[in-house]
C-alpha cells in the first residue's frame, strides 16, 4: 500500500489465469488506491518446453521480477 502499485506473479499462462481474476477483484474493490495499472508476470505464452534448461527460462525468474518492479516504480 505504500507505493499503491500491485505486481502479481503466477507460474501459469497469462490467459484465464487466477491472477487475472485476482486483478479484476482488486480493481473493483481498491481502484481508488491504485496509482498505476496492475502488472502481472506469468510464464511465456508458448507451449510448455520439456528440456530442463528451457523450463528454467520459461518460468518467471528473479531477473524478470526485478525488471517489472523497477518499471513499476519509475513510471
Q: Which residue has the higher pLDDT, 1 or 3?
A: 3
Report residue 75's pLDDT band, with 50, 70 and 90 as the boundaries. low
- What are the φ and ψ backbone dihedral angles of 11, each rounded to 5 degrees? -95, 60
CA distance 20 to 64: 18
CB burial of 33-50 (b: ≥16 within 10 Å; e: otherwise) equals eeeeebbbbbbeeeeeee
CA distance 32 to 6: 13
pLDDT digits (tens, 9 = 90+) for 17-27: 788 888 888 88
Domain 7-73 of CATH type 3.40.50.920: yes
Amino acid at each position: 500500500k505504500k507505493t499503491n502499485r500491485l505486481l502479481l506473479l503466477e507460474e501459469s499462462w497469462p490467459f484465464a489465469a487466477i491472477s487475472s481474476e485476482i486483478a479484476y477483484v482488486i480493481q473493483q474493490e481498491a481502484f481508488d488506491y491504485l496509482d498505476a495499472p496492475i502488472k502481472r508476470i506469468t510464464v511465456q505464452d508458448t507451449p510448455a518446453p520439456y528440456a530442463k534448461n528451457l523450463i528454467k527460462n520459461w518460468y518467471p525468474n528473479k531477473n524478470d521480477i526485478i525488471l517489472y518492479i523497477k518499471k513499476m516504480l519509475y513510471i
